[in-house]
Amino acid sequence: MSTTLVWSTIAIYIVIALIIAYLSRNGRQNSMSGYFLGERKLNGFVSALSYSATTYSAFMLVGLAGLTYNGGVGALGFEIIYFMGVSLVAIFGPRFWLVGKKYGYVTPSEMLGDRYQNKGVAVVAAVASSLFLIPYSAVQLTGIGYLLQGVTNDAIPYTTGVIIATVLALIFSYIAGIRSVVWTDSLQSLIMIITSTIVVILIVNSLGGVSGFFASIEANDPQALAVPGNGFFNFWTFLGLTIPWFFFSISNPQVSQRLFMPASLKSLRHMLLGFLVFGLIYTVVSVVWGFSASILFPGLENADLATPMLLSSDVVPPILGVIVMVGIMAAAISTIDSILLTLSSLFSRDVYRHVKGGADDRKQLLIGKIVIPVIAVLAFLFAQLELDLIAVLSVASSAGLIVVVPAIIGTFFWKRGTAAGVIISVTTSSILVIYIEATGGLLLGLKSGIWGIVVSTALFIVVSVTTQPPEQKANEFIDYVKERMKHKK
Amino acid sequence: MNQKEKFWGLIILIIVILGYVIPYAFLSDVTKWYGSFLIWSILAIITFVANFFLTTDWSDEE
């Protein structure tokens, strides 16, 4: 791929994104809910596109395509189980939204802290999120570095790619907080879905259309169309991979915080349905992409190279290839900038405010803005160092964040849940997940995510029933939600 | 949860379970496009439909 073409496309992308970020600066940004939640007034369309961009990182066209390359159709199943899990938004979304408005929550961990009437709960949930999400961002940055280096044959060195991505993520989250993030996200996801779909159509056509495409897979490796197929997706691996992702929409704060933002439940609905349409198309595109690579370039040692190979091949016109490549870079950036923003709000709202009692809204916002670049630099340094521990924490992130799920379910559906139950279940199971990931990823043959959900649920229940719940708050909170939801039939 | 949520929630739960059971228990030897590839695609579309109906009465009250 020509370096000049890559650089010019990156330059065009940066200019357009900066203009959009700049234009998004309407409304007040001088309050926590203004800066981090867009004053809870986001419309459904941008919410849907931005939700998609935040959820779908560079993982899809690199990682998921790679999983398909290695393990076949099981990769589709894996992503579809995640997709089904987004239905949790239909149950939890209106509840988050209602209490967010009533009690003025800015972060999901703030909600947990208030509901269980314990500052420690908010701090623990916020710290656990940062522990997994900063390394996750670092690995996204690493991915961009390698991708740019790979497709340009080292003309754009690893560090340059990482610096470009870090600086852009920082700028997009800084210009207007969540507003600049959602608008640049929307640009990214629109371009990505259109160009990657065109590329896949071109590739499938070159393989003789849909029937030719499937015939090629059957001729090449028939096992790829079934699970467990070649054994890559044996049932327990599949279960271990899918369980954490099933709960992703409520366990990961950078997406669950989005449930506070839509202007109305109707906007929330548009966000959910819009995302599902986007997600289904993008999932099929990424899986077909991976299959195509396995037909065209069988025998690659590293499946993550499948996408760079495909983009540089003769089947894809260079200009489209380069747009998709920059789109993958933008996809990683759009995930990182949301995480940056969420983590800084977690820090200022749930850690700083409680440690430094009495910090008002303006002070929290100031601290939040100071923390954004600090987290960006941390992620950058982690990406540079490429420590083993960082890779472990990143892999552990989806499984690690699952440990907060019982506490979130309890928030809305179980009056007996207690602060001690949350703190003990979250801390103990986080440590267990990290331990399992650091010692090979399996305990008694099961993956860390399965242990995470089972152990955190058991601990949350056992500790809760032996401790005193915050009865008054629990009754008020749950009864309010129940009453409001009843009116929706 | 209200009645509507219980109904559609149950449908989605069944879909999820089928998403594990059908491909692994019944389609592990079907190495064609109409095997697991098709079933997962269909289940995904049903998921969308369930979400569509589950959210029909969400209002635009701010």
| Inter-chain CB proximity B19 and A80 less than 8 Å | yes
Chain B touched by A225 (CB under 8 Å): yes
Q: Best of A67, A80, A271 to disrupt the B interface by mutation (most B CBs within 10 Å)?
A: A80
Chain B touched by A90 (CB under 8 Å): yes
pLDDT on residue B19: 96
- Enumerate the domain spans of chain B: 3-54
pLDDT tens, residue by residue, A124-145: 999 998 888 888 888 888 888 8
**CA A80 – CA A29 distance, rounded (Å):** 37
Q: Is the peptide bond before A228 cis (omega within 30 degrees of 0)?
A: yes
Chain B partners within 8 Å of A290 (Cβ)? none
| Inter-chain CB proximity B23 and A284 less than 8 Å | no
User: What residues 22-41 of chain A have any CB closer than 8 A to a CB of chain B?
Assistant: 41
- Enumerate the domain spans of chain A: 3-387
Binned at pLDDT 50, 70 and 90, residue A395 comes out as low
Chain A touched by B26 (CB under 8 Å): no
* Residue in A204, A152, A134, A187 with CA at minimum distance from that of residue A381: A134
CA distances to A6, A52, A162, B56 from A10, rounded to whole Å, are: 6, 21, 13, 41
Q: Is the pLDDT of residue A181 over 60?
A: yes
pLDDT tens, residue by residue, A255-267: 999 999 999 999 9
**CA A354 – CA A348 distance, rounded (Å):** 9
Chain B touched by A215 (CB under 8 Å): no
Write the CB contacts of A360 (distance below 8 Å, at least 6 apart in sequence). Answer: none
Q: Is the pLDDT of residue A386 over 90?
A: no
CA atoms within 13 A on the CB side of A486: 6
Chain A partners within 8 Å of B47 (Cβ)? 83-84, 87, 276
- CA nearest B42 in A: which residue? A80
| Inter-chain CB proximity B29 and A226 less than 8 Å | yes
pLDDT on residue A117: 96
pLDDT tens, residue by residue, A453-475: 999 999 999 999 999 999 999 99
pLDDT tens, residue by residue, A185-195: 999 899 889 99
Binned at pLDDT 50, 70 and 90, residue A392 comes out as low
In chain A, pLDDT over 90 holds for what percent of residues? 53
Q: Best of B55, B56, B59, B61 to disrupt the A interface by mutation (most A CBs within 10 Å)?
A: B55
State the burial class of residue A318 (Cβ atoms within 10 Å of its Cβ: 0-12, 13-18, 19+).
middle
**CA A256 – CA A96 distance, rounded (Å):** 8
Q: Which residue has the higher pLDDT, A470 or A379?
A: A470
pLDDT tens, residue by residue, A221-274: 889 999 998 888 999 989 988 998 999 999 999 999 999 999 999 999 999 999
- CA nearest B57 in A: which residue? A488
Binned at pLDDT 50, 70 and 90, residue A61 comes out as confident
pLDDT tens, residue by residue, B23-49: 999 999 898 889 999 999 999 999 999
Q: Å from B26 to nearest chain A CA?
A: 10
Q: Which residue has the higher pLDDT, A42 or A358?
A: A42
- CA nearest B56 in A: which residue? A269
Facing residue for B57 by CB, picked from A225, A226, A489 = A489
pLDDT tens, residue by residue, A296-323: 988 888 777 788 888 888 888 888 888 9
User: What residues 282-341 of chain A have any CB closer than 8 A to a CB of chain B?
Assistant: 283-284
Q: Per CATH, which fold does A3-387 belong to?
A: Sodium/glucose cotransporter (1.20.1730)
A170-174, A294-298, A483-487, B10-14: least confidently modelled range: A483-487
φ and ψ of A58, to 5 deg: -65, -10
Chain A touched by B14 (CB under 8 Å): no
Q: Is the pLDDT of residue A276 over 60?
A: yes
φ and ψ of A25, to 5 deg: -75, 55
pLDDT tens, residue by residue, A86-98: 999 999 999 999 9
Write the CB contacts of A87 (distance below 8 Å, at least 6 apart in sequence). Answer: B12, B47, B50, B51, B54
pLDDT on residue A489: 42
Facing residue for A489 by CB, picked from B4, B16, B62 = B4
Q: Å from A252 to nearest chain B CA?
A: 20
Q: Å from A7 to nearest chain B CA?
A: 38
- Per-residue HEC secondary structure of chain A comes to CCHHHHHHHHHHHHHHHHHHHHHCCCCCCCCHHHHHHHHHCECHHHHHHHHHHHHCCCHHHHHHHHHHHHHCCHHHHHHHHHHHHCCHHHHHHHHHHHHHHHHCCCCHHHHHHHHCCCHHHHHHHHHHHHHHHHHHHHHHHHHHHHHHHHHCCCCCCHHHHHHHHHHHHHHHHHHHCHHHHHHHHHHHHHHHHHHHHHHHHHHHHHCCHHHHHHHHHHHHCHHHHCCCCCCCCCHHHHHHHHHHHHCHHHHCHHHHHHHHCECCHHHHHHHHHHHHHHHHHHHHHHHHHHHHHHHHCCCCCCHHHHHHHHHHCCCCCHHHHHHHHHHHHHHHHHHHHHHHHHHHHHHHHHHHHHHCCCCCHHHHHHHHHHHHHHHHHHHHHHHHHCCHHHHHHHHHHHHHHHHHHHHHHHHHHCCCCCHHHHHHHHHHHHHHHHHHHHCCCEECCEEHHHHHHHHHHHHHHHHHHCCCCCHHHHHHHHHHHHHHHHCCC
CA distances to A170, A312, A427 from A324, rounded to whole Å, are: 22, 11, 40
Mean pLDDT value across chain A: 89
| Inter-chain CB proximity A80 and B27 less than 8 Å | no
Chain A partners within 8 Å of B49 (Cβ)? none
| Inter-chain CB proximity B31 and A284 less than 8 Å | no
pTM of the model: 0.93
- CA nearest A91 in B: which residue? B5
pLDDT tens, residue by residue, A331-344: 888 888 999 999 99
B1-28 average pLDDT score: 94
The identity of residue A457, as a single letter, is T
State the burial class of residue A484 (Cβ atoms within 10 Å of its Cβ: 0-12, 13-18, 19+).
middle
pLDDT on residue A391: 62
Chain A touched by B34 (CB under 8 Å): no
| Inter-chain CB proximity B9 and A91 less than 8 Å | yes
